[in-house]
Structure 1
Amino acid sequence: MRSRFYRLRRSLETSKKILNRRLAGEVDDLFFLLEHPHTYTLGKVADRSNLLLTHEQLTERGIKVYDIDRGGDITYHGPGQIVGYPIIDLKKWKEDTHAYLRNLEQLIINVCKKYGLKADRKEGLTGVWIEDRKIAAIGIKVSRWITMHGFAFNINTDLSLFGGIIPCGIKDKEVTSLQKETGIMYDIEDIKKDLLEEFVRIFDYRHHTEIDRSRFINSIIEFERAEHE
């Protein structure tokens, strides 16, 4: 499962390749759990004025900026944050993108509960919230009922990096992390295991054997290695 600091451009290229193979029925559902280096991403409807740093400031801080084809506005990805990319066929679950979004939110809510936090949804907004503080952003794309992109869950994230943007275009709300809320530094790999356990339950992959699940959660690096063997 380890795939720390996987560059966003490479992960997107690989995700698109896997999406096409999933559309063709050549691979099964996959669920990638990654960390990216410092990155800002702008969704299809993003307002570029929500990026507050100049080109020089971005270069100085080593932050890359990408326009991508998910929904939503601008957000940050970086070390200490788990980015989840499910590539799954909703036709085998439920042809309902709203239900899919709600289940991704529920996935994060359930994991937060395990660590003693009461997370919830906020009416009219996507993502997962603890009161008025956003702990996870969600932005997806669905092509012929195959999903791409997913969620960004702040674990030990340096929240000061959100200061270079107006996160998700929302000016009057804060961002938070598991560490900030509990005062504990977490092992990212432990949280990944919790996310997998909840994902398997919520999307009903419990009938898969342990071998199937291991293959289901392969990192992009492991997938690419297998592709070239």
Structure 2
Amino acid sequence: MRIVDLGLIGYAEAEALQLKTLEAVTAGREENTLFLLEHPKVITLGRQGGAENLHLDEAQLKAHNIELARTARGGNITCHFPGQLVAYPIWRVEKRPGGMRKFFHDMEQAVMDTCAHYGVSTIRRPKHPGVWVDETRKICSMGIGVRRWVTYHGLALNVARDVSLFNAITLCGIQGAVPTSLSAEAGRDIDIKDVKNVFGKAFAETFADSAVAADQAP
């Protein structure tokens, strides 16, 4: 696998890079790839919709310099912003044991191991993909797309204390869910660059046995 840090990158630019890499991975020209990055302020709507859970109109979004994007990922509404670690795995899953269920489980595990590194305990909630601190506080959202057994899109782990952009939405369309972050839960400011390193290692360890040889690509 290769891990690529894209820094702060616009949503549309990152999506175009994902699609280009997805094509290369599918064709066997590129190995499984994990993009790590941050986005400027953007609210995204998934395949299950989410516009009904957006609390700002077009004029308000523009006034606050917030982009609105419709995506091909699963899930409902979420948001991205500087201080949030976004991870996009472009990953072959066709021959990976456990299929998509195991893929989601392992993504969650990489996040949970990262949180544990900073002394933050987390849980899974059945029927609610992502990672939670408890039954109401969500620290990481997940939603992926799949083409020809190769994934794209991925997860967003809140790192910085400021998660106020979530005030503009009903988080993932789940009533009662509230956002939290690594820094808030750890009680100290955590450097997102450090989190990238920790998460990259956790992801690599979790997915080390998942690679499919290029000549086995669908």
Shared fold (TM-score greater than 0.5)? yes
Q: Percent identity?
A: 36
Partner AA of 1:171 in structure 2: Q
The answer to whether structure 1 residue 196 and structure 2 residue 161 are counterparts is no
**Distance in 2 (alpha carbons) for counterparts of 1:170 and 1:95:** 27
Partner AA of 1:144 in structure 2: R
**Distance in 2 (alpha carbons) for counterparts of 1:183 and 1:51:** 30
Bigger fraction of residues in strand: 2
Partner of 1:158: 162
Shift of 1:46: 1.5
SS of alignment partner, residue 121 of structure 2: coil
**Distance in 2 (alpha carbons) for counterparts of 1:6 and 1:46:** 24
**Distance in 2 (alpha carbons) for counterparts of 1:36 and 1:69:** 17
Shift of 1:204: 1.4
Inter-CA distance 53–206: structure 2 relative to 1 (3 Å threshold): closer
Q: Structure 1, unaligned stretches of length 5 or more?
A: 208-229
* Residues 72-92 of structure 1, C-alpha deviations (whole Å, 9 max, x = no match): 000010100000000111135
Shift of 1:95: 5.7
**Distance in 2 (alpha carbons) for counterparts of 1:140 and 1:98:** 12
Q: CA RMSD in A?
A: 1.6
Partner of 1:3: 6
Partner of 1:215: none
Contact 1:82–1:153 (CA under 8 A) maintained in structure 2: yes
Inter-CA distance 197–205: structure 2 relative to 1 (3 Å threshold): farther
Task: Count residues in correspondence.
Answer: 207
Contact 2:161–2:189 (CA under 8 A) maintained in structure 1: no
* Residues 30-66 of structure 1, C-alpha deviations (whole Å, 9 max, x = no match): 1000000000000011231111101111011110000
Structure 1 outlier segments of 4+, above 4 Å:
none
**Distance in 1 (alpha carbons) for counterparts of 2:82 and 2:50:** 25
Which residues of 2 match residues 36-55 of structure 1 at below 5 A? 36-55=39-58
The answer to whether structure 1 residue 172 and structure 2 residue 194 are counterparts is no
Q: Structure 2, unaligned stretches of length 5 or more?
A: 212-218
TM-score, length-scaled by structure 2:
0.91
* Residues 144-189 of structure 1, C-alpha deviations (whole Å, 9 max, x = no match): 2111010000000521110001110012111100011122111111
